[in-house]
Amino acid sequence: MRKFIYLIGSKDDFGDLEDLKNAYFDGVLLEDYNASIIPVSLDEGCKVQGYDSLEEIATMIARGEAMSEGWCLDDTLSTLLEA
């Protein structure tokens, strides 16, 4: 099982991806910023046609979750980290 964390935040709050990641690692991402943390866990054997890696699959699942929470890709920064 591989575990990932998808971070998404408003460009109004973050200048770049490093700012977003630093806020997460500093433990203040959800306290001080307009952002979300979306966990995704996938079995090593997970395969989806059209995707070459677990990271790609995890990203698409997390983006879907983010969109369900009201996020859009416009004016946001996002990244996938392995947990």
3-state secondary structure 33-80: CCEEEEEEEECCCCCCCCCCCHHHHHHHHHHHHHHHCCCCCCCEEEEE
User: Which pTM value belongs to this model?
Assistant: 0.92
- pLDDT band for 32, please (50, 70, 90 cuts): confident
Residue 33 pLDDT exceeds 90: yes
- pLDDT band for 51, please (50, 70, 90 cuts): very high
Residue 43 pLDDT exceeds 90: yes
User: What is the percentage of the chain residues whose pLDDT exceeds 70?
Assistant: 100
